[in-house]
Chains A and B, each alone.
Chain A
Amino acid sequence: MRPDSLGPEPPDILPRSPHKTYGLMALVRGTSPLVDATPEDAVSTWPHLLLRGLICALVCLSALLAAAMLFDAPLHDPASAAETPDPAKAPWYLLGLQELVHYSAFIGGVLAPGLSLAGLVMLPYLDRSHARRPRDRRTGICLFTLFLLANLVLILIGAWFRGPGWSWTTPWSANTPGGRP
């Protein structure tokens, strides 16, 4: 029997079976995701989530297979310490770093990436506001977008606007190397 101290009977969200016994498993602080809602608001993971995942995986795998059949992974000349290719371009995701390093090895190669990394790691501890709506966090969104854009611009400069000896060039000029970045 229910002692009075537990207060009124909670609303019967889950229909209870008389053939089973129910026990209290845990007390959880806070609101439930199902507050003001019936359990039907949640859908079962199988099949809803997992089938979508499967379809997404198959689409991605098809795309990858197509890419792998159409485009060959580059293999350059065998490694030789005697000759550095000109221009010696890093893989595309490091071209931004290469562009920075071209100004200074320490500032571009250690300080800038180190500070970016520290900033990224500490981001959730620095930005402690609980604002979640985009209009409440305009500054943050601007800064982060700027950060991403800066990286993108540096990569594009490295990929298209740097030629032999890391000098300026344009993608449409004659001395742009044909090699893939």
Chain B
Amino acid sequence: MPSAEPGWIQRLARGRVWRSIFRGEPPGTARGNAQAVFQNLWLHFLPVKVRPHTLRFTYTFYLGGIAFLLFLVLAATGVALMFYYVPSVERAYHSIKDLQFVVSFGPLLRNLHRWSAHAMVVVVVLHMARVYYTASYKAPREFNWVVGVMLLLLTLGFSFTGMLLPWDQAGFWAATVGTGIVGCLPVVGKEVRLLLLGGDSVGQNALLRFYVLHCMALPLAMASLTATHFWRIRKDGGLSLPPSQESMASEERVP
């Protein structure tokens, strides 16, 4: 590399410590750019090269990526909120009040969590609509559409379980009515309702169950299904192409 005086970034990138963390060439060269992706645990599911079409904002509106970003925001703010929230009928409401009026940055984190949750529902639905309108659910991507529908359900499940946690009137009655609807399911309704509530009505058991679902079970399911969703995009041949090019690439699978 012909360079007069290497900047501090270059000097850092040449140092022992840097090279012990990031193997391979620094980005900038073709090989460095490739290694930045495939030698990174968090990026290696991405292809090293993408078609320019994939980058067009007006094709995907980056909706899937935004949904994932919102999930990350929700996970981060959610973990933060868990430090103060107590899933008990006596204390839940007051712990939210504390977050609102006593805890530094409490209102901000709670607001971020709430608005990100609303935004996620919108974005996931829009993403589904985009995938439909661009015919991206068609072969060979059928199964990834199914995974996507499950992710939509999980998103709604997060919203429904999260709503009860502040133990306010809105959440309490949403949970009462929601589990009432579950009770109307044929054959298994009563049993599933009992499983969700841990009792006959929305009380302490229900609050604890919704809390465990919201903070453990659903996040685990969401993370594994999201990983599957991303993996399948790659395995099914990347993002769909415009109709004219797609027919050519429809046979192609990345091995």
Contacts and interface: CB of A to CB of B under 8 A. Distances in A.
Contact of A42 (B50, B89, B116, B129): B50
Q: Interface size bucket, B side?
A: 35 or more
Contact of A98 (B46, B177, B243): B177
Contacts of A32: 252
A29 B250 CA distance: 11
Contacts of B138: 124, 127, 129-130, 132
Contacts of A117: 149, 153
Contact of A90 (B55, B134, B146, B174): B174
Interface in B107-162: 107-108, 110-116, 118-119, 121, 125, 129, 132-135, 137-139, 141-143, 145-146, 149, 153, 156, 159-160
A60 B50 contact: no
Contact of A64 (B52, B119, B149, B159): B119
B111 A68 contact: yes
B168 A77 contact: yes
A127 B139 CA distance: 10
A49 B159 contact: no
Given A46-B37, A75-B97, A88-B173, A124 B184 contact: no
A52 B134 CA distance: 21
Contacts of B49: 39, 42-45
A65 interface: yes
Interface centre among B43, B184, B201, B249 (most CB of A within 10 A): B184
Contacts of B125: 148
A30 B46 contact: no
B251 A65 contact: no
B172 A79 contact: yes
B169 A77 contact: yes
B199 interface: no
A138 B201 CA distance: 47
Contacts of B57: 52
A31 interface: yes
Interface string A112-140: 00000100110111011111111001000
A121 B108 contact: no
A33 B47 CA distance: 13
B116 A76 contact: no
Contact of B181 (A29, A56, A105): A105
Interface centre among A75, A120, A141 (most CB of B within 10 A): A75
Interface centre among A53, A80, A89 (most CB of B within 10 A): A53
Contacts of A110: 181, 184-186
A82 to B, nearest CB: 11
Interface residues of A, number: 76
Contact of A132 (B116, B180, B247): B247
B166 interface: yes
Contacts of A171: none
A124 B66 contact: no
Contacts of B137: 123-124, 127
A44 B255 CA distance: 19
A42 B9 CA distance: 28
Nearest to B100: A75
Contacts of B156: 93
Interface in B173-232: 173-174, 177-178, 180-181, 184-186, 201-202
Contact of B96 (A75, A83, A90, A137): A75
Given A77-B168, A109-B184, A148-B129, 14 more contacts: A26-B255, A45-B48, A57-B69, A60-B69, A73-B111, A78-B167, A79-B202, A85-B173, A94-B174, A109-B181, A123-B132, A127-B137, A132-B247, A144-B132
